[in-house]
Amino acid sequence: DFLNALHEIIPAFGASTDDLERCRLNGMVDCGPSGSGKTAMSATVGIDSDFPYVKIISAETMIGLSESTKCAQIVKVFEDAYKSPLSIIILDDIERLLEYVAIGPRFSNLISQTLLVLLKRLPPKGKNVLVIGTTSEVSFLDSVGICDAFSVRFHVPTLKAEDARKVLHQLNVFSEDDTDVAAEALNEMPIKKLYMVVEMAAQGEQGGTAEAIYSGKEKIKLSHFYDCLQDIVRY
Amino acid sequence: DFLNALHEIIPAFGASTDDLERCRLNGMVDCGPSGSGKTAMSATVGIDSDFPYVKIISAETMIGLSESTKCAQIVKVFEDAYKSPLSIIILDDIERLLEYVAIGPRFSNLISQTLLVLLKRLPPKGKNVLVIGTTSEVSFLDSVGICDAFSVRFHVPTLKAEDARKVLHQLNVFSEDDTDVAAEALNEMPIKKLYMVVEMAAQGEQGGTAEAIYSGKEKIKLSHFYDCLQDIVRY
Amino acid sequence: DFLNALHEIIPAFGASTDDLERCRLNGMVDCGPSGSGKTAMSATVGIDSDFPYVKIISAETMIGLSESTKCAQIVKVFEDAYKSPLSIIILDDIERLLEYVAIGPRFSNLISQTLLVLLKRLPPKGKNVLVIGTTSEVSFLDSVGICDAFSVRFHVPTLKAEDARKVLHQLNVFSEDDTDVAAEALNEMPIKKLYMVVEMAAQGEQGGTAEAIYSGKEKIKLSHFYDCLQDIVRY
Amino acid sequence: DFLNALHEIIPAFGASTDDLERCRLNGMVDCGPSGSGKTAMSATVGIDSDFPYVKIISAETMIGLSESTKCAQIVKVFEDAYKSPLSIIILDDIERLLEYVAIGPRFSNLISQTLLVLLKRLPPKGKNVLVIGTTSEVSFLDSVGICDAFSVRFHVPTLKAEDARKVLHQLNVFSEDDTDVAAEALNEMPIKKLYMVVEMAAQGEQGGTAEAIYSGKEKIKLSHFYDCLQDIVRY
Amino acid sequence: DFLNALHEIIPAFGASTDDLERCRLNGMVDCGPSGSGKTAMSATVGIDSDFPYVKIISAETMIGLSESTKCAQIVKVFEDAYKSPLSIIILDDIERLLEYVAIGPRFSNLISQTLLVLLKRLPPKGKNVLVIGTTSEVSFLDSVGICDAFSVRFHVPTLKAEDARKVLHQLNVFSEDDTDVAAEALNEMPIKKLYMVVEMAAQGEQGGTAEAIYSGKEKIKLSHFYDCLQDIVRY
Amino acid sequence: DFLNALHEIIPAFGASTDDLERCRLNGMVDCGPSGSGKTAMSATVGIDSDFPYVKIISAETMIGLSESTKCAQIVKVFEDAYKSPLSIIILDDIERLLEYVAIGPRFSNLISQTLLVLLKRLPPKGKNVLVIGTTSEVSFLDSVGICDAFSVRFHVPTLKAEDARKVLHQLNVFSEDDTDVAAEALNEMPIKKLYMVVEMAAQGEQGGTAEAIYSGKEKIKLSHFYDCLQDIVRY
Ligand SMILES: Nc1ncnc2c1ncn2[C@@H]1O[C@H](COP(=O)(O)OP(=O)(O)OP(=O)(O)O)[C@@H](O)[C@H]1O
Ligand SMILES: Nc1ncnc2c1ncn2[C@@H]1O[C@H](COP(=O)(O)OP(=O)(O)OP(=O)(O)O)[C@@H](O)[C@H]1O
Ligand SMILES: Nc1ncnc2c1ncn2[C@@H]1O[C@H](COP(=O)(O)OP(=O)(O)OP(=O)(O)O)[C@@H](O)[C@H]1O
Ligand SMILES: Nc1ncnc2c1ncn2[C@@H]1O[C@H](COP(=O)(O)OP(=O)(O)OP(=O)(O)O)[C@@H](O)[C@H]1O
Ligand SMILES: Nc1ncnc2c1ncn2[C@@H]1O[C@H](COP(=O)(O)OP(=O)(O)OP(=O)(O)O)[C@@H](O)[C@H]1O
Ligand SMILES: Nc1ncnc2c1ncn2[C@@H]1O[C@H](COP(=O)(O)OP(=O)(O)OP(=O)(O)O)[C@@H](O)[C@H]1O
Ligand SMILES: [Mg+2]
Ligand SMILES: [Mg+2]
Ligand SMILES: [Mg+2]
Ligand SMILES: [Mg+2]
Ligand SMILES: [Mg+2]
Ligand SMILES: [Mg+2]
């Protein structure tokens, strides 16, 4: 449903600039709990778009850099984007880019100001930039004023029991009857944690059964599945 | 109405200095929500004025610079203005120039002090400077003491349904009957967001209809227009 | 009334040191709202005094300097004053010298400490320094302890309707009858704002009437005067 | 019981990556009072695992280093781990790595951000990293957001009287009858403090009896044991 | 009364070290309102003592120096004192040495720590140091822990009407009858302000009468004396 | 009583390491009011122990050094201690080492972290370090987490009247009858202040009687003793 929405926006975005050359950057924030698939979704949009310029800005590639070096790298990505008629910039985990911690709170104002200006700045004539931001800390971004710079907002939902059932069905690691029961226990679970608990359960109580399970020869025992579920920390 | 007010001030300002050589800088703050047209209005005043020196000071051209470099650039603009008998300086998005974030709040005191002094300093004899400032954070500027340095204040309004109707009429993208209904839905919308939602709607549900709509061959479907409106985040 | 007071102090001050060589610096704080004439009054005292050394210390001439450079310049002024038997130092807008903003509050402790020591330090034998400080932020200066270093305090009043009438009379820009009405409307207005609103009104509704008004050929229309008054921000 | 749990996870972890090459780092936080055996337990897991790469990151080896040098060393350990198909990284005393003190609180945000990114970053394809973290300050780590990066959490318990009895039995330093009484007095004591009090008691009231006690020739006197217990500060 | 107390301590202090060589530094804090005579009293003690080493440490001679340079100068004074068998060190206006302002409060911790250590450190054998500190901010010094380092404390009183009468008598600037009335009006006035108001009054209403008054030819008019008193800011 | 306790611990400590080579550093905090004898007691333990390596770490020898230099010196002392099989390190006035002031509070986190790690780090095999810390700010050290690093805690008491009597008896400066009365007045007095007041009193009202008193020829007059007591500031 929300993936459809995203795919709808891309052609619209592309078209508008061709026609009117009046459109400016049109970002969006995907908000959701940790591991709900925000990064995956943004990346998918980028890859599916066939835009000539797609770039992800992530804290992972900037570990240990100084604030000003990070700023320079971010500015560089935007400048490069302006050279292409159509480009997508993904700001992944914006709170991490801003070096945010809740205590204080502390964060880099240098990077905040840079993003605030870049997100409002119009690209040169005939150039169009779509900025997609992901975050788990919407209320922090809001108080920094970064949310205002995005016009569209999506909330990535956790999986319902119904969704979990579909995933488990496809993985085919439970017996027919157990699938529904297990799915029920996975209600409201982020997708990443769902994968993790299935993987732990697939090893079996003594370990070593994963191959058998994934090849379909054996099934996960429900009681062991519950034990694994217990160990996993819900957020 | 407020555009008239501005155009009235300019000749008055020009004249007073010619006559008395006693007038000092006379600024004003345009306050309004994001995207309401503050920058556009200030720029219009500057262009329409035919003053020999018109300069905009904006955070966009100072990304990543140090506080002291920004200060030096701001001072330079004022010094240059003093060489012309009549000049206009536009301080666009003052909160961004001050590197403001609500958390803390944090901001550059170096730049604040520089602006406070520059805004109060009399230009040399026979020189006149009109400073126009724009901001969406009036209460912050007030607590920094910058509002006191401006004598006149305008509040840029959001569009009423009546204003929206006129804009839609001119764009001619809705059928006669739909225009009024759509305008009603755009009540209290900042102008920038109005343009954005029309553009999104013009693409149509499957995309690609923008050309037909803007050329007048087709009209925007009201139901799709409502969908687009839903996605746009009101402030 | 307060100007008299000031002129009374100067000879007293001068004499005392000649006689007793026991007198030390005797400062005063002029407090009043922005634009009430504090700087003008201090400057007048300095010029009228005929003291061999009169110096104004103002943030305007120190824009963008580092705290320690500002300190050095301030110390230099005091050291130079010690070379003259009678000197006046004007600390204009002390809160601006201290780089004060209400948020926090923030200010330069380096400059505060320098002023605190300089204001208490006795000049060398046979030398006398009168320090006059101006400020609109008395309560801040008080909490920094700077007010204690001044023994005499004046409060520059805003103009009463009566005072405004006298000023308007002298300017001769209203008809006889209108002068009283306009003066009433200017009650409690700082002098700087009074000048500003008269100047704006003198341009007339369409602009260009200033020359005629100031030369006495025309008078300001009361209705237009009220419009201008509306636009001016009272503090 | 919890040691079993840990040994269960290791093969599961190893297997999953061999099979699916989809597993990412799977950390855990051992929380417990000071001296309860957190470091010992983590080290045991590392040694028992037979993983080709096992590394402990501890503040002990980084005393006096700057924040950025510490970051660089931590990043290096992770980068090296990515070269091995299976590796374990132990982050011992995470609050100490973050230079945490409760007052403020103060801590290194540079190191926090580095850990937050490293703990979420997926290792390269075919590589698996198990990160084990120990801490006595769970609530601090939680507010920094580091707890969220760990999926499994163990709480190392203090010893019950029952556990203490077993340890005392093995040490064989009390007479048969006294063992139970002494064990009762050691209820809820962290293991490190248990060892310390036994050692102090073994010296005897005049000192010098330790050799006789440990060789089994003499037994600890209960009254002296109680005296030693008194001096030890419970947390 | 308190001057007696001080003169009593000096021989006692001197003697004790001669006899026992066990005495360490024995400081005292003179606390009182601004201008009450704290510095004068401390200086008098130093001069009257005939100690071979008497040094005053004052912010006046360290304006604009960095914290560490100030520390070095303070340490130097103590080190030099240790070379003399008997020395007095006067720490004048300790809050100013610590660069204290009430807002925050802010102060130099580097200098605080230096003083805390120096005040507790025992001088070498056979050397004796008497440290006298003056301050108007006892409660601040207390919260920094500096008061604890002083064993004896004097509170310099403001003048009572009785004391003021004696001073006025000696100055002989009022008529017999007026002296008592004027003294009554000076009740609770710090001595420095008393001198200042007499000096102002001696100039007369038109100025220039000071010589006549101080030579005894004329007397101060009581009504003018009251006017001067009005202008002086009581603390 | 507490001196006994300390002397008991030393052999125990020494023995345990000889026997078991399993013992790690075993510190203790002496807490008590200023001047109660904490430093003296710690030094006594160090001297009496006959350990080959005894070192005191004190702020007195590190005045004016930077935080990192202080850290380096502290680390050096611990490293050197590891070269000796048995060593004692005295951390005198830990709050001073940490540059603590109550306002804020402020302190050096660099030094705090260094101590926290050093106090927990196990010495190399066969080496034993006993760390003794003294402080008057137990609750501060507790909130920094340093108290947890010490297992044994002593509270140095102030003197009771009974203890004061014994000291006065030995000093033999009062007449038989006065000793009891004076001792009563010294109840709850720290030992350092007791010595100070006796010394002041021994000078006599006019000074100069100290020699006579200490040689036993004269006795201290009780009334003068009470006067001196009055001047001393109790904490
Ligand atoms: N729609 C999906 N279908 C299948 N797998 C998915 C889907 N979305 C996410 N995943 C899986 O879940 C994992 C976690 O997703 P992702 O990293 O995008 O979450 P996230 O919300 O960005 O988490 P974080 O808050 O930690 O950044 C991915 O590695 C991917 O394997
Ligand atoms: N009077 C107007 N008529 C037509 N279009 C306008 C008008 N005012 C503004 N716009 C359009 O709206 C857009 C947004 O205006 P502008 O950038 O001036 O708003 P702003 O208030 O400065 O916003 P921000 O708070 O984001 O700085 C402009 O790009 C312009 O195209
Ligand atoms: N007594 C006066 N008579 C005539 N004009 C005056 C008088 N006092 C002040 N003015 C005019 O008012 C203007 C403002 O005065 P001034 O700058 O001294 O005010 P201020 O109190 O220092 O303001 P600010 O708080 O902004 O520093 C001056 O430029 C001067 O032209
Ligand atoms: N299971 C165990 N069996 C025997 N001895 C143990 C065990 N666990 C811990 N110990 C002993 O207790 C001591 C303290 O354990 P350890 O250092 O691991 O505790 P910790 O929880 O990491 O303490 P800290 O909070 O101080 O870091 C170890 O030196 C070890 O000798
Ligand atoms: N006992 C005294 N007799 C006569 N004059 C005195 C006496 N004490 C002080 N004065 C005068 O009062 C003046 C102020 O005294 P002093 O500077 O010592 O006060 P202070 O308490 O140190 O003030 P501050 O708080 O400003 O440092 C001195 O310059 C001296 O002339
Ligand atoms: N047991 C004792 N017998 C005799 N004299 C003592 C004793 N203990 C301390 N003193 C004396 O008291 C003085 C103060 O003791 P010490 O400096 O050890 O106190 P402290 O508690 O460390 O004080 P501070 O809190 O100021 O560091 C010492 O110089 C010593 O002369
Ligand atoms: Mg993500
Ligand atoms: Mg704008
Ligand atoms: Mg002024
Ligand atoms: Mg540990
Ligand atoms: Mg003084
Ligand atoms: Mg001590």
Instruction: Give pLDDT tens digits for D164-211.
Output: 998 899 889 999 999 999 999 998 888 888 888 888 888 788 777 888
**For residue range D11-62, what is the model confidence (pLDDT) as tens digits?**
444 333 333 333 344 566 667 778 888 888 888 888 877 889 999 999 999 9
User: Subunits with at least 3 CB pairs below 8 A relative to chain D?
Assistant: A, F
For the record, the structure tokens of D193 come out as: 């403090």
Task: Kindly determine whether residue F11 and residue D103, on different chains, have CB atoms separated by under 8 Å.
Answer: no
Q: Which residues pair with A130 in a beta bridge?
A: A88
For residue C188, how many C-alpha atoms fall within 13 Å in the half-sphere facing its CB?
2
Q: Is C203 on the interface with B (CB under 8 A)?
A: yes
Q: DSSP 3-state assignment of A159? A: strand
Atom of ligand 6 nearest to the CA of F93: 27
SS3 A89: strand
Given the residues E44, E160, E163, E192, the one annotated as active site: E192
pLDDT digits (tens, 9 = 90+) for D111-149: 999 999 999 888 887 788 889 999 999 999 999 999 888
C76 as an active site residue: the answer is no
Q: Give the residue with greater pLDDT, E221 vs E159.
A: E221
- Partners of residue F150 in chain D, C-beta under 8 Å: 233
Tell me what the mean pLDDT of segment F63-86 comes to. Answer: 95
Active-site annotation holds for B217: no
Find the E89 Cα to ligand 11 centroid distance in Å: 15
Residue whose CA is closest, atom 9 of ligand 1? A37
Ligand whose nearest atom lies closest to the CA of A30: 1
Q: What distance in angstroms lies between residue C109's CA and the mean position of ligand 1's atoms?
A: 51
Chain E residues with CB inside 8 Å of C105's CB?
103
Q: Provide mean pLDDT across the span B13-29.
A: 41
D14: CB partners within 8 A, 6+ apart: D51, D86, D128
Residue E22 has pLDDT above 70, yes or no: no
Do residues F59 and F97 lie in contact, with contact meaning Cβ atoms separated by under 8 Å? yes
Q: Which sign does the torsion angle of CA B65, B67, B72, B76 carry?
A: positive
Mean pLDDT score across all residues of chain D: 83
Q: Measured from the CB, is residue B36 less than 6 Å from ligand 2?
A: yes
Chain C residues near residue E110 by CB distance under 8 angstroms:
none
For residue A146, give the chain B residue with the closest CA.
B101
The string of pLDDT tens digits covering residues C21-38 is 333 445 566 677 788 888
Among A191, A196, A197, A198, the mutation site with the greatest number of ligand 1 atoms within 8 A of its Cβ is A191
Residue with tokens 């549900």: B205
Q: pLDDT digit string (tens) for B86-141?
A: 889 999 999 999 999 999 999 999 999 999 999 988 888 778 888 999 999 999 99
Pocket of ligand 4 (CB under 6 A): D 32, 34-40, 93, 136, 191-192; F 120
pLDDT above 90: percentage of residues in chain C: 43
Could you read off the pLDDT of B54-72 as tens digits, one per residue?
999 999 999 999 999 999 9
B163 flagged as catalytic: no
Beta-carbon pairs below 8 A across chains A and B: 84
ipTM of the prediction greater than 0.85, yes or no: yes
pLDDT digits (tens, 9 = 90+) for C69-91: 999 999 999 999 999 988 899 99
Give the amino acid at A94: I
Ligand 1 test: best mutation among A39, A58, A90, A141, most atoms within 8 Å of CB?
A39
Ligand 2 pocket residue status of B192, Cβ below 6 Å: yes
Give the separation between CA A212 and CA A219, rounded to whole angstroms: 8
Q: Does the pLDDT of residue A208 top 90, yes or no?
A: no
Spacing, Cα B35 to ligand 2 middle (Å): 5
The residue whose C-alpha atom lies closest to atom 2 belonging to ligand 5 is E37
User: In this complex, which of E15, E105, E113 lies closest to F203 when CB atoms are compared?
Assistant: E15
Residue F101 has pLDDT above 90, yes or no: yes
Mutate to test the pocket of ligand 6, among F6, F137, F191 (most ligand atoms within 8 A of CB): F191
* Number of neighbours of residue A175 by Cβ within 10 angstroms: 14
| Residue A25 scores a pLDDT above 50 | no
Assigned token pair, F183: 């001792």
Model confidence band, residue A206 (pLDDT cutoffs 50, 70, 90): confident
Ligand nearest, relative to CA of residue A193: 1
Confidence (pLDDT) at F47: 82
Q: Which helix (H) or strand (E) holds C223?
A: helix C222-231
Max avg pLDDT among B164-173, D225-234, E56-65: E56-65
Which residues of chain E neighbour C71 with C-beta distances below 8 Å? 63-64
| H-run or E-run covering C57 | strand C53-57
- Whether the predicted pLDDT of A23 surpasses 60: no
Q: What pLDDT does residue E30 have?
A: 67
- Chain A: give the shortest CA distance to residue B97, in Å: 9
* Dihedral sign for Cα atoms in the order D172, D175, D176, D177: negative
**Which tens digit of pLDDT belongs to each residue from A86-122?**
889 999 999 999 999 999 999 999 999 999 999 988 8
Residue C192 pLDDT greater than 70, yes or no: yes
Comparing CA positions, the residue from E166, E141, E156 lying closest to residue E41 is E156
Catalytic-residue membership of C39: yes
Which atom of ligand 4 lies at the shortest distance from residue D35's CA?
23
Q: Which residue, E4, C55, E24, C225, is CA-closest to F205?
A: E4
CA closest to A119 among chain B residues: B60
Structure tokens at B202: 């013009």
Cβ atoms of residues D90 and A80 within 8 Å: no
Q: Are D168 and D179 in contact (CB under 8 A)?
A: yes
Interface check for F12 against chain D (CB to CB < 8 A): the answer is yes
Distance of CA E52 to the CA centre of its chain: 21
| pLDDT of amino acid B234 | 52
Angle ∠(A189,D140,D94) on CA atoms, nearest 5: 95
Interchain pair E16, F210: CB under 8 A: yes
List the alpha helices (DSSP H) in A21-156: 38-48, 67-81, 94-97, 109-120, 138-144
Instruction: Specify whether the CB–CB gap between E134 and E42 falls below 8 A.
Output: yes
> Average pLDDT for residues B162-182, to the nearest whole number?
92
Q: What letter does residue C157 receive in the DSSP assignment?
A: P
CA of B30 to the centre of ligand 8 (A): 10
The angle that helices A176-185 and A161-171 make with each other, rounded to 10 degrees, is 140
Q: What percent of chain A has pLDDT over 70?
A: 86
Separation CA A183–CA B149 (nearest Å): 64
Is the distance from the beta carbon of residue A121 to the nearest atom of ligand 2 less than 6 Å? no
Higher confidence at residue A167 or residue B155?
Answer: A167
So what's the pLDDT on residue C27?
59
Nearest ligand for residue F58 CA: 12
Residue having the nearest C-alpha atom to atom 12 of ligand 5: E192
Ligand nearest to the CA of F191: 6
User: Which residue in C17, C30, C38, C158 is the catalytic one?
Assistant: C38
Q: Is C8 on the interface with E (CB under 8 A)?
A: yes
B235 touches chain A (CB under 8 A): yes
| Chains B and A touch each other (3 or more Cβ pairs < 8 A) | yes
d(CA B216, CA D1): 75
Interface test with A, best of D117, D147, D148 (most A CBs within 10 A): D117
Q: How many Cβ contacts (< 8 angstroms) between chains D and F?
A: 81
Q: Which residue did the predictor score with more confidence, D177 or F44?
A: D177
pLDDT tens for residues E95-145?
999 999 999 999 999 999 999 999 988 888 778 888 999 999 999 999 999
Q: Is E192 a catalytic residue?
A: yes
Is residue A136 lining ligand 1, measured as CB closer than 6 Å? yes
Chain D contact for A232 (CB, 8 A cutoff): yes
Set C120, C142, C148, C166: catalytic member: C120
Q: Does D153 touch chain A (CB under 8 A)?
A: yes
Q: How many Å lie between the centroid of ligand 11 and the Cα of residue E36?
A: 8
Are the Cβ atoms of C199 and B20 closer than 8 angstroms?
yes
Closest Cβ opposite residue D207 in set F12, F116, F148: F12
The reply to whether C101 touches chain B by the CB within 8 Å rule is yes
Chains that touch B (3 or more CB pairs under 8 A): A, C
| Surrounding residues of ion ligand 11, Cβ less than 5 A | E 39
